[in-house]
């Protein structure tokens, strides 16, 4: 039985309107499923909403009020739109398309306009259009101990691990209802005792480049026993937010991990003892180079060959990385028929434009795009490709659910080279 | 082998039955891993690749992958291809949202020596009581 405060009971009783009542009914039902005993206040949220493809189950002309009521509020009764919690700072997560460039990404104008129409409705609720899966680059930064919800799995791991904030991988319906009520079950990562590491990873090698960090996250996720909390004790060189982003994103592809302590680097793991909470680990795993090679084989197809579709920016990349890419590609030209997509968020693209980086990239024939990625845009955006090159691991692995063409994966600048050469060369 | 029972926490009330689809490494929540409108598992490497979840009792250790996990199962439900119920070794947030959102019976949080992913085989006939937490398994002939 979930214990509710008087405020929460009033919301559940409908005293704050049917919109909030329905959302609170879902939050309470979710708490009961989890076995949570109480709720906690949520002050930050990102929502994977808009005309996302999970809504393909509805005919295109379905009223969004019906969709919102049924899908997100889990209500058979159609309710009027209301407002999100004024205490919860809420914005959109990754979008199903770039807010402007629908033709360049092979999507229809109708789909693009439907997405915009949905986002305008939720904007009126108080959900800001940001369309980013790396919201920490543009100011969505929860403090240590702050409770958040996010529909981006890598952002769950980043926010728990680096910021010491508290959140679970709840899912879209819970995130929407949490943003409306300002409440989420106090369970899992919201409770300190569940955040201690239970599985110690020791590396037989060092990781240094962005791809190595990315590949390590994918590998740890494969090796992590189910339901355990990882801590890494050694082997990480050149730690910085962009590498951490890759590690956290790929870890959450192959596992259900929501936090990844790193001894001496992350706030709840200044020592191994601190990360473990004074307890003995349940598992101690040595990670070998062979484990990393097995991961690489899962992400990069064998052989060399012509390629015509390259995507960089999973998760969405930072201004620093756009700068480096702009300098690298300046003066080059993409071969006819080859696409190079580089994904970031709108705010970062605007900064890239102001600084001239966007022009350097676009002048080569590449596209600096915002808010989405091939996986989320789904098959319509990439079904014409005959061979693909993807960075990072989340994209290179996830796209395989949607395509049968060869998919290659490697260091960022190797992927970029492949675009300008129109070829992937094995082993280089 | 004759009918046997497992017992755990009833996570969502109600009784459901169907053929078990056992996914020892779960089902990825990433876009495209589960067909949103046909309920077919398209996740590369999944032991049940190509299997439709409609009317099945899904047996998983937990959820995994994208936080979109629940949304893809909810989409399948609205499209008319939902599973009959869930059996999960442990409950987690991704799966919890899917269970609460779909409102179908679920049993979770099994004792270590009663791991349903090991005890139940794909094709077994499974009856779950989401109120009492009782799971009754009749092995496939």
Task: Give which of B42, B28, B37, B7 is closest to B95, Cα–Cα.
Answer: B28
ipTM field: 0.96
Q: Where are the beta strands (DSSP E) in A31-167?
A: 39-41, 44-47, 89-92, 148-150
What pLDDT band is residue A428 in, cutting at 50, 70 and 90?
low
Judge: A57–B66 Cβ closer than 8 Å, yes or no: no
List CB contacts of B135: < 8 A, sequence separation 6 or more.
B5, B6, B7, B8, B87, B107, B116, B120, B126, B127, B128, B129
In a domain, A331, yes or no: yes
Do A310 and A289 have their domain in common?
no
Do A30 and A140 have their domain in common?
yes
In a domain, A230, yes or no: yes
pLDDT at B44: 85
Is residue A11 within 8 A of residue A24, CB to CB? The reply is: yes
A328 — phi, psi (to 5°)? -70, -40
Give mean pLDDT, residues B76-100.
Answer: 96
Is residue A307 within 8 A of residue A418, CB to CB? The reply is: yes
Q: Which helix (H) or strand (E) holds A199?
A: strand A199-203
Domains of chain B: 4-138 (3.50.30.10)
Task: Give which of A66, A86, A90, A85 is closest to A27, Cα–Cα.
Answer: A85
Partner-chain residue, chosen from A169, A254, A379, that has the shortest CB–CB distance to B67: A169
Of A258, A281, A297, the residue at which a domain comes to its end is A297
Give mean pLDDT, residues A146-174.
Answer: 97
Do A16 and A160 have their domain in common?
yes
| Mutation target among B41, B44, B67 for the A interface, most CBs of A within 10 A | B67
Do A172 and A23 have their domain in common?
yes
Do A22 and A77 have their domain in common?
yes
pLDDT at A378: 93
Which of 28-67 (B) contact A at CB < 8 A? 28-33, 36-37, 42-45, 61-67
What distance in Å separates the CA atoms of residue B54 and residue A147, rounded to the nearest whole number?
36
Partner-chain residue, chosen from A32, A57, A226, that has the shortest CB–CB distance to B62: A226
Do A146 and A83 have their domain in common?
yes
pLDDT exceeds 80 at position A91: yes
B110 close to A (CB below 8 A): no
Do A277 and A304 have their domain in common?
no
Partner-chain residue, chosen from A58, A153, A170, that has the shortest CB–CB distance to B65: A153
B134 — phi, psi (to 5°)? -85, 135
Do A333 and A279 have their domain in common?
no
pLDDT exceeds 80 at position B25: yes
CB < 8 Å to B99, chain A: 33
CB < 8 Å to A52, chain B: 68, 71
B70 close to A (CB below 8 A): yes
pLDDT exceeds 90 at position B141: no
| Mutation target among B8, B28, B68, B82 for the A interface, most CBs of A within 10 A | B68
- DSSP tag of A280: P
Give mean pLDDT, residues A223-240.
Answer: 96
Residue of B nearest to A30 (CA): B100
pLDDT at B66: 87
pLDDT per residue as tens digits for the range A138-148 = 999 999 999 99
CATH number of the domain at A338, please. 3.30.499.10
Judge: A187–B93 Cβ closer than 8 Å, yes or no: yes
What is the distance in angstroms between the Cα of A314 and the nearest Cα belonging to chain B?
Answer: 13
What is the distance in angstroms between the Cα of A255 and the nearest Cα belonging to chain B?
Answer: 6
In a domain, A240, yes or no: yes
Do A350 and A289 have their domain in common?
no
In a domain, A1, yes or no: no
pLDDT exceeds 90 at position A90: yes
B3 close to A (CB below 8 A): no
pLDDT at B29: 87
Partner-chain residue, chosen from A74, A156, A375, that has the shortest CB–CB distance to B30: A375
Judge: B98–A26 Cβ closer than 8 Å, yes or no: no
In a domain, A138, yes or no: yes
Task: Give which of A224, A201, A190, A238 is closest to A36, Cα–Cα.
Answer: A190
- Number of compact structural domains in chain A: 3
Do A185 and A36 have their domain in common?
yes
Residues in chain B: 141
Task: Give which of A173, A259, A190, A70 is closest to B96, Cα–Cα.
Answer: A173
Q: Which range marks the domain in which residue A59 is found?
A: 6-192
Partner-chain residue, chosen from B42, B65, B100, that has the shortest CB–CB distance to A33: B100
Count residue pairs from A and B with Cβ separation < 8 A. Answer: 163
Do A266 and A280 have their domain in common?
yes
Name which of A135-144, A196-205, A238-247, B22-31 the model is least confident about. Answer: B22-31
B103 close to A (CB below 8 A): yes
Judge: B79–A57 Cβ closer than 8 Å, yes or no: yes
pLDDT exceeds 90 at position B75: yes
| Mutation target among B50, B60, B71, B115 for the A interface, most CBs of A within 10 A | B71
SS3 content of chain B, % helix, strand, coil (to 5): 20, 30, 50
Of A275, A297, A319, the residue at which a domain comes to its end is A297
For chain A, percent of residues with pLDDT exceeding 90:
98
Q: Which residues share a beta bridge with B134?
A: B7, B129
Of A169, A192, A215, the residue at which a domain comes to its end is A192
In a domain, A159, yes or no: yes
List CB contacts of A70: < 8 A, sequence separation 6 or more.
A76, A78, B78
pLDDT at B1: 75
pLDDT at B30: 83
Judge: A256–B62 Cβ closer than 8 Å, yes or no: yes
CB < 8 Å to A282, chain B: none
CB < 8 Å to A26, chain B: 100-101
pLDDT exceeds 90 at position A417: yes
In a domain, A378, yes or no: yes
Q: Which two tokens stand for residue A119?
A: 């986002």
CB < 8 Å to B12, chain A: 33
Give mean pLDDT, residues A346-366.
Answer: 98
Residue A89's SS3 state is: strand
pLDDT exceeds 90 at position A76: yes
Q: Which helix (H) or strand (E) holds A289?
A: helix A289-299
Partner-chain residue, chosen from A34, A48, A71, that has the shortest CB–CB distance to B74: A71
Do A186 and A201 have their domain in common?
no
Partner-chain residue, chosen from A56, A156, A376, that has the shortest CB–CB distance to B67: A156
Partner-chain residue, chosen from B31, B75, B100, that has the shortest CB–CB distance to A29: B100
**Residue A285 CB coordination number (10 Å):** 18
First-to-last C-alpha distance (Å) of chain A: 59
pLDDT per residue as tens digits for the range A198-225 = 999 999 999 999 999 999 999 999 999 9
Q: Which two tokens stand for residue B78?
A: 């609205």
What is the distance in angstroms between the Cα of B141 and the nearest Cα belonging to chain A?
Answer: 30
Cα atoms found within 13 Å of the Cα of residue A63, Cβ hemisphere only: 8
Task: Find the DSSP H helices in A45-169.
Answer: 64-67, 109-125, 153-161
- DSSP tag of A72: I
Which of 111-140 (B) contact A at CB < 8 A? none
What distance in Å separates the CA atoms of residue A396 and residue A388, rounded to the nearest whole number?
9
pLDDT per residue as tens digits for the range A1-56 = 899 999 999 999 999 999 999 999 999 999 999 999 999 999 999 999 999 999 99
Give mean pLDDT, residues B1-22.
Answer: 96
CB < 8 Å to B42, chain A: 401-402
CATH number of the domain at A116, please. 3.30.499
pLDDT exceeds 90 at position A228: yes
Judge: B100–A402 Cβ closer than 8 Å, yes or no: no
A369 — phi, psi (to 5°)? -115, 165
In a domain, A338, yes or no: yes
A38 — phi, psi (to 5°)? -155, 175
């Amino acid at each position: 039985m979930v214990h509710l405060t008087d405020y929460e009971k009033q919301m559940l009783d409908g005293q704050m309107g049917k919109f909030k009542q329905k959302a609170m009914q879902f939050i309470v039902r979710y708490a009961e499923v989890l076995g949570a005993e109480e709720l906690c206040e949520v002050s930050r949220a990102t929502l994977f909403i808009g005309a996302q493809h999970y809504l393909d189950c509805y005919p295109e002309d379905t009223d969004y009020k019906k969709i919102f009521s049924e899908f997100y509020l889990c209500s058979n009764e159609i309710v009027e739109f209301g407002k999100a919690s004024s205490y919860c700072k809420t914005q959109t997560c990754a979008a199903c398309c770039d807010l402007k460039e629908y033709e360049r990404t092979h999507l229809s104008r109708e789909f693009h306009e439907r997405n915009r129409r949905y986002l305008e409705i939720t904007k009126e609720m108080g959900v800001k259009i940001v369309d980013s899966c790396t919201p920490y680059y543009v100011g969505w930064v929860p403090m240590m101990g702050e409770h958040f919800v996010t529909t981006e799995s890598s952002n769950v791991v980043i926010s728990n691990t680096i910021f010491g904030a508290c959140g679970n991988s709840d899912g879209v319906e819970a995130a929407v209802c949490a943003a409306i009520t300002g409440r989420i079950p106090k369970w899992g990562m919201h409770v300190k005792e569940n955040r201690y590491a239970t599985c110690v990873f020791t590396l037989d090698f060092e990781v240094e480049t962005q791809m190595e960090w990315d590949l390590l996250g994918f590998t740890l996720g494969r090796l992590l026993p189910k339901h355990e909390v990882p801590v890494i004790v050694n082997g990480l060189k050149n730690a910085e937010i962009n590498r951490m982003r890759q590690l956290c994103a790929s870890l959450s592809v192959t596992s259900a991990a929501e936090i990844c302590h790193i001894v001496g680097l992350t706030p709840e793991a200044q020592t191994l003892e601190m990360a473990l909470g004074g307890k003995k680990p349940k598992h101690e795993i040595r990670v070998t180079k062979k484990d990393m090679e097995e991961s690489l084989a899962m992400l990069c197809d064998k052989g060399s060959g012509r390629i015509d579709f390259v995507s960089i920016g999973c998760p969405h990349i930072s201004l620093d990385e756009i700068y480096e890419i702009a300098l690298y590609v300046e003066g080059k030209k993409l071969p006819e028929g080859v696409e190079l997509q580089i994904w970031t968020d709108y705010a970062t693209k605007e900064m890239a434009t102001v600084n001239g980086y966007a022009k350097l990239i676009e002048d080569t024939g590449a596209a600096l795009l915002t808010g989405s990625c091939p996986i989320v845009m789904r098959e319509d955006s990439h079904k014409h490709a005959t061979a693909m090159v993807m960075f990072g691991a989340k994209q290179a692995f996830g796209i395989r659910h949607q395509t049968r063409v060869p998919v290659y994966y490697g260091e960022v600048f190797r992927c970029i080279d492949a675009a300008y050469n129109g070829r992937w060369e094995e082993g280089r | 082998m004759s009918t046997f029972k497992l017992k755990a926490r009833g996570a969502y009330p109600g009784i459901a039955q169907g053929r078990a689809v056992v996914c020892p490494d779960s089902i990825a929540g990433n876009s495209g891993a589960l067909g949103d409108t046909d309920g077919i598992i398209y996740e590369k490497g999944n032991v049940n690749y190509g299997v439709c979840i409609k009317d099945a009792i899904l047996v998983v250790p937990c959820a995994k992958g994208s936080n979109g996990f629940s949304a893809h199962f909810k989409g399948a439900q609205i499209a008319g291809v939902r599973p009959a119920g869930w059996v999960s070794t442990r409950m987690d947030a991704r799966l919890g949202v899917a269970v609460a959102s779909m409102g179908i019976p679920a049993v979770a949080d099994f004792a270590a020596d009663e791991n349903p992913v090991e005890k139940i085989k794909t094709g077994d006939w499974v009856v779950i009581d989401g109120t009492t937490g009782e799971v009754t398994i009749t092995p496939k002939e």
